[in-house]
Structure 1
Amino acid sequence: MEAKVSAKTKMVLLTHPNNPTTTVYNRKSLTALANFVIRHDLILVVDQAFEDFTFGNEMITPAALPGMFERTVSVFSFSKGMGFSGLRVGYVVCSDKVMDAMFANAVAVLGATSTSAQKAVVTAMQHPAFMQQFEDAYEVRRKKAFEIINSIPNVSMLMPQSGFLCWVDVSKLGNSSDIVAYLVKEAKVSVNDGVNYGPGGQGHLRVVLGVYKDDEKVIAALNRMKTALIAYQNTTETE
């Protein structure tokens, strides 16, 4: 980052917890980033959409670090933690100075969130057990995904640290775009190509575990992926 910063640099964008890798950045890493931001007089914009589910990993808000509140824009979302992806309800926390500048533009560009969406969020917040059900379900699914994916030869993943995602390494099998197309055709499973998240994503798949309400359907889809990825390797070896 020191090599990239210049007189034109105004801000740093951080996704924490990370999407798609699920990484929850630790205090040491965030403190180093905070020192960098302060040293170069920058603004830090943090996307914390997946903060609700970190499975025991310490979730540190960068704005809470010394000297960071005045120069941090923290962006939060109810879409992920409450399963309200279609409602598009979120909020921003930042200093009055930054908020005044943002508000003038946001009102003109974004308009307002619908009343029904806001009421749905308020109702969910009044029932903590609702969110606990989500976390319990994802806890089961991430462990099952870890077990199934890592049982596939030449395929691996780390235990997800947050959210309802898996970041799967298929680099030993070849081009991830080809594998995505193969999984749709042969396993009837749609996953995200890692290259959509940057050049470093080549050879990786982003797998979402939150599509089905029923755990068994998620597990069945993972097992179809396993069967297809084993078959894919046999096919490429034959060719």
Structure 2
Amino acid sequence: MNWDEKFASNIKAVPFSGIRKFFDLASTMKDVISLGVGEPDYSAPDKVIEACIESLKRKETSYTSNWGLLELRQEIAKLFHNRYHVDYDPKDEIMVTVGVSEAIGIIMTTLLNPGDEVLIPDPAYLAYPACVSIAGGKPVLVPTYEKDEFKLTVEELEKKITPRTKAVLIGYPNNPTGTVMDRDSLLKLAAFAEKHDLIVISDEIYCDLTYEGTHTCFASLPGMRERTLTMNGFSKSYAMTGLRIGYVCGPREALEEIYKVHQYEILCASTTSQYGAIAALRYCDDDVKAMYNEYAARREMVYEGLVKMGLPVFKPKGAFYIFPDISSTGMDDEEFADRLLTEAKVGVVPGTCFGPQGKNHVRISYAASRENLAEALKRMGTFVAKYRKQG
């Protein structure tokens, strides 16, 4: 059988993850410092682990409601009410998912007819366009520019709008650039969405890692709750990546249809992990703050190290990524990442994995120990100096 002829054309057109490519390659080499994967170098807080263990001891291993544990949804509702003054009914306006990754996929499956277009900032998380394509939609990349700190502008959005445009998918703080959108910038985006009657899908997984200013929940903007689907989760703030817990909040009429897809494809997120998430929201604010403070210190360390190397880079304002321009080495981002890995044993991700606007940049994750970051910067500095001198 020729399997290649049997696959759906839209799936075949989706590339494999460039992040995983470099991570997998680095894992086969000795003495590599990998700064490629966006995963906290912490374990989940003790209270989370204890809650997971206790739930297993109680033999709570059955399915939960397809919506997720009501107790967890109530805690999420409290969070949005207290922090953002946005109210969601935990009964049917909040759904627990298997991370934000599942949330993106089921939202696209629910919303998109073949050929429907979704506007996505470029560069942005590489799963965004992939999930749109897998659902049969058309990802439309909207360029952002380093001179603007890679902020999404209405001027660029207007150039890409068509009668087929259905939604805008954003994620701030941004992966891979570390940029944030201030409230005024988001208000302009809100006016654009209202003008063109678009759905806004907002990935706010890095909201707790905002170093300058405060995070603005898009649904909290005037008139935006009813047209916004907010995605968030526990992987980054609480170092719960492997526990795979996320959620989506939105208007009842939207969630009911998304729930239908989730019901058939997933049934429910891990029961054990849901109990861990309840503990995270109730008891782990101090853990989140401690991790935040450490990431903030690492941000300073890595930024200063890259500036010292002579690489142009703006100081990230959120998440745990930095996105330097490496064009002065005479290499493009793919060659730079390959050679840095093989010659200096440091793993980073080429910027073009996140869209064409990532050309000549690389993404560096500073979710690594200060010791490893110091050594990686030392190796990278020697590598950059060698090729900049030759250039």
Q: CA contact under 8 A between 1:53 and 1:163: conserved in structure 2?
A: yes
- Matched AA of 2:315: M
Q: Choose from 333, 337, 346 the match for 1:189.
A: 346
2:372 to 199, 217, 227: 217
Deviations 1:91-120 (A, max 9, x none): 111110111111101222233221222233
Partners of 2:171 and 2:287 in 1: CA distance? 25
The yes-or-no answer on 1:21 pairing with 2:177 is yes
SS at match of 1:103: helix
**Whole-angstrom distance in 1 between the partners of 2:187 and 2:245:** 29
Q: Distance in 1 between matches of 2:299 and 2:372?
A: 14
Question: Which structure carries more relative contact order (alpha carbon 8 Å, separation 6+)?
Answer: 2
Deviation of the 1:232 alpha carbon = 2.8
Equivalent residue in structure 1 for 2:303, among 129, 146, 150: 146
In the alignment, which residue of structure 2 is the partner of 1:67? 223
For residues 197-236 of structure 1, the aligned pairs below 5 Å read 197-210=354-367, 212=368, 214-234=369-389, 236=390
Specify the alignment match of 2:164 in structure 1.
8
The answer to whether structure 1 residue 87 and structure 2 residue 223 are counterparts is no
Change (3 A) 1:176 1:124: same
Between 116-125 and 78-87, the greater mean CA deviation after superposition: 116-125
* Structure 1 counterpart of 2:262, one-letter code: A
Counterparts of 2:357 and 2:212, CA distance in 1: 27
Q: Does structure 1 retain, via aligned residues, the 8 Å contact 2:229–2:248?
A: yes
CA distance, structure 1, for counterparts of residue 381 and residue 267 of structure 2: 45
CA–CA distance in structure 2, aligned partners of residues 227 and 133 of structure 1:
32
Q: Which amino acid aligns with 1:207?
A: I
TM-score (norm 2): 0.57
Deviation at 1:233, TM superposition (A): 2.6
Do 1:157 and 1:167's aligned partners in 2 also have CA atoms closer than 8 Å? yes
Q: Deviations over 1:176-233 (max 9, x none)?
A: 11100111112211111100011000100100111x3x32222221221111121233
What are structure 2's unaligned runs of at least 5 residues?
1-156
Q: Name the Cα RMSD after superposition.
A: 1.4
Q: Bigger CA drift: 112-121 or 27-36?
A: 112-121
What's 1:56 paired with?
212
Q: Give the C-alpha shift of residue 139 in structure 1.
A: 0.9
* Structure 1 residue matching 2:164: 3-state secondary structure: coil
Q: Distance in 1 between matches of 2:168 and 2:293?
A: 33
Secondary structure of the structure 2 residue equivalent to 1:159 = coil
1:42 paired residue among 191, 198, 205:
198
TM-score normalised to the size of structure 1?
0.92
2-structure distance, mates of 1:179, 1:8: 38
Provide the rounded CA distance (Å) in 2 between the counterparts of 1:2 and 1:228.
41
Could you tell me how far 1:48 is from its partner in structure 2?
Answer: 0.6
> Compared with structure 1, are the counterparts of its residues 97 and 156 closer, same or farther at alpha carbon in structure 2 (3 Å cutoff)?
same
| Structure 2 Cα separation of the partners of residues 222 and 18 of structure 1 | 23
Percent identity for Structure 1 against Structure 2 = 32
Corresponding residue of 1:135: 292
Answer yes or no: is the 8 Å Cα contact 2:212–2:318 preserved in 1: no
Q: Matched residues in 1 for 2:320 and 2:197: separation?
A: 35
- Distance in 2 separating the partners of 1:134 and 1:67: 34
- The structural deviation recorded for 1:161 is 0.5
Which amino acid in 2 is paired with 1:185? T
Task: String of CA shifts for 1:62-89, please: whole Å, max 9, x gaps.
Answer: 1111111000001002111112222221
Match of 1:176 among 333, 345, 362: 333
Q: Does 1:117 align with 2:273?
A: yes
Q: Aligned letter for 2:214?
A: E
Q: Is the 8 A contact 2:180 2:318 kept in 1?
A: yes
Separation in structure 2 between the aligned mates of residue 223 and residue 14 of structure 1, nearest angstrom:
34
- How far is 1:122 from its partner? 2.7
Count of aligned positions: 233
Task: Label 1:119 to 1:227 Cα distance change in 2 as closer, same or farther (>3 A).
Answer: farther
Q: 1:76 aligns with which of 215, 219, 232?
A: 232
